[in-house]
Amino acid sequence: MQNMKICRTIAECRAEVATYRKAAERVGLVPTMGFLHQGHMALVAAAQEASDRVVVTIFVNPTQFGEAADLEAYPRDEARDLAMLQEAGVDCVLIPPVKEVYPDGDETIVETTRMANMLHGLVRPGHFRGVTTVVARLFNFVQPDIACFGEKDYQQLQVIKRMTRDLAFPIDIRGVPTVREPDGLAMSSRNVRLTPEDRQAALVLSRSLAAAEQAAAQGTTIEALRQLISDTITAEPRATLRGLDIVGATDLSDLSGPLTSPAAIMISAEFGGILLIDQRVVTQ
């Protein structure tokens, strides 16, 4: 197995990527916040499929966390992450310190003004601004040809697609389907923080989406879908529904009445104080 290059600075990473470019190799990027699971490895596999070289970034981005406690509690395990990436055949990993990404005196932000401040963005003010600000920087550090993001963070994926288009980054953004545990729970770094009871209760998310998908296929309205999902989740006593949105699949626009075009259902719910999200695109 070839040696994976580990970079701690932008300069080191750029020098490494320059060698790929010199060989006319196509570069794929997978931005992560570490504590990798099978969902991340699916992004790596998708990037490997679409490019010659894969760069993974591991950076727990402080600007996308609302509360300092949430940032501190975010799980980290660099040694395990590196072993997984080496095993998967990743070419280069960038693990920059905070000062490298946000230099002293930093004052630049990137924000999609509409899409960042709706839906999950209302529950987590400033979150998507933090995401686009860091992803724009990572794009600029690595300058990949393609970049892979999970469909699970559906609004994030659409926000990043819009930012990439608006700023004319020459990068092909790929959405990769959600990887699930055998029982249907969408994989997330937060799952390890759930108690066994809350983990069991969290299955209500995928269950409610499956019921919605079935109802959609038989023909229904947006209002009936909303009622079905909300009833299913509120029937689970350990769940607190925080957000339920059914919107146009690409522009996140409001929908009502009969389901006539693909709709994205996005749910966020808390289980013992841990916020989980799940999503599905449904059509008739």
Smallest distance, Å, CB 255 to ligand PAF?
A: 25
Q: Which of 48, 51, 61, 178 binds ligand PAF (CB under 6 A)?
A: 61
- Considering beta carbons, is residue 96 or 259 the nearer one to ligand PAF? 96
Smallest distance, Å, CB 31 to ligand PAF?
A: 4
- Considering beta carbons, is residue 110 or 222 the nearer one to ligand PAF? 110
Q: Does 134 sit near ligand PAF (CB under 6 A)? A: yes
Quick note: the x/- pattern for ligand PAF over 91-130, rule CB under 6 A, is ----------------------------------------
DSSP secondary structure letters along 268-284: EEEETTEEEEEEEEE--
CA dist 177 and 267 (Å) reads 16
- Considering beta carbons, is residue 153 or 236 the nearer one to ligand PAF? 153
Residue 95 CA from chain centroid, whole number: 18
Q: Does 153 sit near ligand PAF (CB under 6 A)? A: yes
User: Are 31 and 149 within 8 A, CB to CB?
Assistant: yes
Enumerate the active-site residues: 40
Picking from 179, 180, 278, the residue whose alpha carbon sits closest to that of residue 232 is: 278
H helices within the chain, ranges in order?
10-22, 38-50, 68-73, 78-88, 98-101, 120-123, 127-142, 154-166, 196-201, 203-217, 222-234
Smallest distance, Å, CB 135 to ligand PAF?
A: 5
* 3-state secondary structure at position 83: helix
Q: Does 155 sit near ligand PAF (CB under 6 A)? A: no
Q: Does 135 sit near ligand PAF (CB under 6 A)? A: yes
Q: Tell me how many degrees the CA angle 132-137-142 measures, rounded to the nearest 5.
A: 125
Picking from 238, 205, 212, 217, the residue whose alpha carbon sits closest to that of residue 227 is: 212
**HSE (side-chain half, CA atoms, 13 Å) at 167:** 20
Smallest distance, Å, CB 125 to ligand PAF?
A: 16
Judged by CB under 6 A, the number of residues near ligand PAF is 10
- Considering beta carbons, is residue 35 or 271 the nearer one to ligand PAF? 35
Q: Which of 33, 82, 101, 209 binds ligand PAF (CB under 6 A)?
A: 33
- Considering beta carbons, is residue 33 or 263 the nearer one to ligand PAF? 33
Q: Would you state the structure tokens that stand for residue 4, as one six-digit string?
A: 């994976």
User: Are 64 and 127 within 8 A, CB to CB?
Assistant: yes
Q: Which of 28, 31, 39, 144 binds ligand PAF (CB under 6 A)?
A: 31
Binding site for ligand PAF (CB under 6 A): 31-33, 61, 64, 131, 134-135, 153, 156
